Amino acid sequence: MNDIRHANTEELLALRDGEGLAWTKTHVETCAACGAALYRLEQMRARLRALPAFTPPRDRFAGIAFAARRESRLRRVRGAVGLATAATLAALTFLALRPGGDGAIARERAALGRAMTRSEVLEQTLKAVAPERRALSGDALRAAAGLEDRLGRIDAALAEPDGWQQRPDRVVDLWQERAGVLSALVDVHTTRVAMAGL
Amino acid sequence: MADTIPLAEARSLVARARAGDTGALEHLYRAYEGSVYTLARRLTKTAEDAEDVLQETFLEVCRSLSGWRGDGSLWGWVRTIAASKALMRYRREKIRETEPLEEDLGAGYAAADLPLQLDLEAALARLPERTRVVVWLHDVEGYTHEEIAELMGMTTSFSKSQLARAHQKLRQWLGEESRT
């Protein structure tokens, strides 16, 4: 490369950032115009860094803390789902093996199966809506938080075999209640999605 | 920006926040909200977008507190999340709209391409979004061209050429000489 031309902006920026070619460095030492251009690039960076900071127009902390707690609660609820499922598989076994396999027990098992299936379908729907990624406000937020708490309590009860082994019919009630709560949760989120046109 | 929270204090705050201490989380938020919002304002189109990035950044911080190893700047970690959230928004929008070609840098202002004596704030705002992102990340935040290329899904030569053209335009719009 010869010394006839001036350094271009990209070459001068590389030199400014400590990555320039030896040619550029040598050239700038002897070329007043390129030396001045390099100085201007340094000055521009200093001016950019000196621009004033912005201040957020609103305090968002309360909303962020609330949303973080809600996400944490949802993660716990999802964590409990595995436990509840395992517990209910045990319940099915319990019902299946219970002596005196009459029609009432068969109906109990069928009701439990239906409630579990409905619950699973609704849970998949809820996951597809991804509630932890969505912003709710006002009444919808309070309703969702209340339903999530209720779901957490149901799953905790299902995860405690001691509580329902005495009364197997209680498992059916819990799973039916669980499906109802999940259905309400799906409604809260899908209504918001439909209204927002998302 | 230098980290405003010493490392030992940052480790303690993060440990408390992970355990559910809202006070510790608020301390982290107050320490970084201005810097995150300023970065977001520089990397996004509108103040509303920047507010969304601020919220998304801190929610991600809450989710990922265990991901900070405690051996480097906490601000550096938070800043990476913020830049990533802002650029995610940028990439989503690029799918929906056509970005001006590199050759069109400053397009729409051709008639007023002579020195305008704008102030730096106005000149910076006039740059196309991706060019402004490159200038800000490189010259102010200190990202390398390689890091910018990775964040934006572009090449390093793209980042270098955008920076050079941005400086040319800024000088021009500020009423300063544009030699090359």
pLDDT tens for B84-96 read: 999 988 777 765 5
Q: Are residues B116 and B79 in the same domain?
A: no
- The span from the CA of A118 to the CA of A121, in Å, is 5
In this prediction, residue A1 has a pLDDT band, given cuts at 50, 70 and 90, of: very low
Check if A159 contacts B (Cβ < 8 Å).
no
Average pLDDT value over all residues in chain B: 85
What is the extent of the structural domain holding B22? 1-98
- pLDDT value at residue B166: 96
Nearest to A10 among B47, B161, B171 (CB): B161
For residue A154, which of A57, A88, A65, A106 has the smallest C-alpha distance? A88
Q: Are residues B86 and B127 in the same domain?
A: no
- pLDDT value at residue A51: 94
Q: Are residues B50 and B89 in the same domain?
A: yes
In this prediction, residue B5 has a pLDDT band, given cuts at 50, 70 and 90, of: confident
Q: CB burial class (10 A; 0-12, 13-18, 19+) of residue B42?
A: buried
For residue B2, which of B59, B66, B79 has the smallest C-alpha distance? B79
Cross-chain Cβ contact B38/A37 below 8 Å: no
**Structural contact between residues B82 and B147, judged by C-beta atoms closer than 8 angstroms:** no
Cross-chain Cβ contact B139/A45 below 8 Å: yes
Neighbours of B45 (CB within 10 A): 14
- Phi and psi angles of residue A23, each rounded to the nearest 5 degrees, phi first: -60, -45
**Which residues of B fall within a CB distance of 8 Å from A7?**
180
In this prediction, residue A80 has a pLDDT band, given cuts at 50, 70 and 90, of: low
- The span from the CA of B128 to the CA of B87, in Å, is 14
- The span from the CA of B163 to the CA of B133, in Å, is 9
Q: Are residues B131 and B91 in the same domain?
A: no
- The span from the CA of A194 to the CA of B134, in Å, is 37
B/e letters for B67-95, b = 16+ CB within 10 Å, e = fewer, are ebeeeeebbebbbebbbebbbebbeeeee
- The span from the CA of A85 to the CA of A158, in Å, is 8
Check if A44 contacts B (Cβ < 8 Å).
yes
Check if A46 contacts B (Cβ < 8 Å).
no
Q: What value does the mean pLDDT take over residues A125-132?
A: 72
Q: Are residues B118 and B38 in the same domain?
A: no
Tens digits of per-residue pLDDT, B49-66?
Answer: 999 999 999 999 998 988
Cross-chain Cβ contact A71/B62 below 8 Å: yes
Who contacts A74 (Cβ-Cβ below 8 Å, separation ≥6)? A131, A132, A148
Question: In the predicted model, is pLDDT for residue A195 greater than 80?
Answer: no
The fraction of chain B above a pLDDT of 90, given in percent, is 59
For chain B, the domain total comes to 2
Who contacts B67 (Cβ-Cβ below 8 Å, separation ≥6)? B77
**Which residues of B fall within a CB distance of 8 Å from A48?**
120, 124, 135-136, 139-140
Domain boundary among B41, B73, B98: B98
Q: Give me the count of residues in chain B.
A: 180
In this prediction, residue A149 has a pLDDT band, given cuts at 50, 70 and 90, of: confident
The one-character DSSP state at A159 is: T
Top pLDDT among B180 and A67 is at A67
- The span from the CA of A116 to the CA of A179, in Å, is 8
Chain B residue whose CA is closest to A70: B59
Size of interface A-B (CB pairs under 8 A): 93
Domain boundary among B69, B98, B127: B98
Cross-chain Cβ contact B50/A37 below 8 Å: no
Check if A198 contacts B (Cβ < 8 Å).
no
Nearest to A64 among B58, B120, B161 (CB): B58
Q: Are residues B113 and B164 in the same domain?
A: yes
- pLDDT value at residue B4: 80
CATH number for B168: 1.10.10.10
Question: In the predicted model, is pLDDT for residue B159 greater than 80?
Answer: yes
Top pLDDT among A21 and A137 is at A21
Q: Are residues B86 and B120 in the same domain?
A: no
Question: In the predicted model, is pLDDT for residue B107 greater than 80?
Answer: no
Who contacts A42 (Cβ-Cβ below 8 Å, separation ≥6)? A16
Q: What value does the mean pLDDT take over residues A36-60?
A: 94
Token duo for residue B143: 């990202």
Q: Are residues B57 and B113 in the same domain?
A: no
- The span from the CA of B11 to the CA of B17, in Å, is 10
ipTM: 0.83
For the four alpha carbons of B171, B172, B176 and B180, in that order, the dihedral sign comes to positive
In this prediction, residue B110 has a pLDDT band, given cuts at 50, 70 and 90, of: very low
- The span from the CA of B166 to the CA of B164, in Å, is 5
CATH number for B69: 1.10.1740.10
SS3 content of chain B, % helix, strand, coil (to 5): 70, 0, 30
- The span from the CA of A41 to the CA of B139, in Å, is 10
Return the H-helix or E-strand segment holding B56.
helix B47-64
Neighbours of A165 (CB within 10 A): 14
Q: Are residues B122 and B148 in the same domain?
A: yes
- The span from the CA of A125 to the CA of A103, in Å, is 33
Domain boundary among B47, B63, B98: B98
Q: Are residues B140 and B157 in the same domain?
A: yes
- The span from the CA of B86 to the CA of B57, in Å, is 9
pTM above 0.80, yes or no: no
Q: Are residues B114 and B87 in the same domain?
A: no
Tens digits of per-residue pLDDT, B115-140?
Answer: 555 799 999 999 999 999 999 999 99
- pLDDT value at residue A4: 73
